[in-house]
Amino acid sequence: MPTVASLRVHPVKSLDPLELDAVDVNAGALRHDREYAIVDEDREFVNGKREPALHRLASDYDPERRELSVRERGDDDCATFSMDAERGELNAWLSAFLDYPVSVVRDASGGMPDDTDADGPTVIARETAAEIAGWYDGIDTDEMLRRLRPNIVVEAGEPFWEDRLYADRGSVQRFSVGDVDLEGVQPCQRCAVPTRDPVTGAETPGFRETFIEQRAATLPAWANRDWFDHHFRVMVNTRIPEESWGETVEVGDRVERK
């Protein structure tokens, strides 16, 4: 039976993940996931899609103290800010790092995901990340997971198992993670972020082209081809029905299709 191998939330959109043993469902999302985001003067997201420099930031979030620590990778000096009392100082630090004015905003209700129609946690099998890593020289499973940035990593026993968790464009696939019901909506359409080194932000030559070629060649029989107008897709976008809000997902929970 597939089980949850790890849980990852991203307290600040596009910064480093926080691994947890258990996390509550908060208004359709995992608590703390994309709770904060960096925006520019026009209130547009400054995220990994448009700002490769963010890859060079190392971050750590303490959910109990509500503190964010940031530093440039390779730098021993770390700055720590209270997300309640020192947001202005954090804004100044990030603005100096990026060399243009930015600020950090918060949405504590359901976070700020990219896909607002399928705003639940993303799901992938650990074996999928291992398989994709094997398409490239010098990339291991852990790095591929950092590139893909999933929320729920499942120990499933086979690569691309998560392609069972969505249906066609007109419906959803219901499944459960422990006591939490989810609806699998679609295979995630990837952006530029996975094509970059997660530490330096440098583009990996030929990443997208290799991915598309190999994904097409290895697409499992159980994948619904209705979604594959192109093959730069992997991982599953979900929704969490309101009746599961307030429940908890834990490492070790069983993942079952309904």
HEC string for 198-249:
CCCCCECCCHHHHHHHHHHHHCCCCCCHHHCCCCCEEEEEEECCHHHCCCEE
Burial class (CB in 10 A: 0-12, 13-18, 19+), 164: buried
- Domain span at residue 65 reads 30-106
Count CB-CB contacts under 10 A for residue 48: 21
What's the full length of the chain, in residues? Answer: 258
Torsion angle (degrees, nearest 10) of CA 102, 103, 108, 110: -10
Domain finish residue from 106, 121, 156: 106
**Both 82 and 164 in a single domain?**
no
Question: Which whole-number Å values give the CA distances from 39 to 70, 123, 186, 188, in the listed order?
Answer: 17, 26, 27, 24
**Both 196 and 170 in a single domain?**
yes
Domains in the chain: how many in total?
Answer: 2
**Both 91 and 124 in a single domain?**
no
**Both 184 and 72 in a single domain?**
no
**Both 75 and 98 in a single domain?**
yes
From first to last of its 258 residues, the chain has per-residue pLDDT tens of 999 999 999 999 999 999 999 999 999 999 999 999 999 999 999 999 999 999 999 999 999 999 999 999 989 899 999 999 999 999 999 999 999 999 999 998 889 988 888 999 999 999 999 999 999 999 999 999 999 999 999 999 999 999 999 999 989 999 999 999 999 999 999 999 999 999 999 999 999 999 999 999 999 999 999 999 999 999 999 999 999 999 999 999 999 999
**Both 169 and 100 in a single domain?**
no
Q: pTM of the prediction? A: 0.96
Domain finish residue from 69, 89, 106: 106
**Both 85 and 128 in a single domain?**
no
Q: What is the pLDDT of residue 167?
A: 95
Q: What is the pLDDT of residue 116?
A: 84
**Both 122 and 247 in a single domain?**
yes
Q: What is the pLDDT of residue 117?
A: 87
Task: Read off the CATH number of the domain in which 172 is found.
Answer: 2.40.33
Question: How do beta strands 18-20 and 233-239 pair?
Answer: unpaired
16 — alpha (psi -120 to 50), left (phi > 0) or beta? Answer: beta
**Both 128 and 238 in a single domain?**
yes
**Both 239 and 130 in a single domain?**
yes
Domain finish residue from 48, 78, 106: 106
**Both 196 and 98 in a single domain?**
no
**Both 142 and 239 in a single domain?**
yes
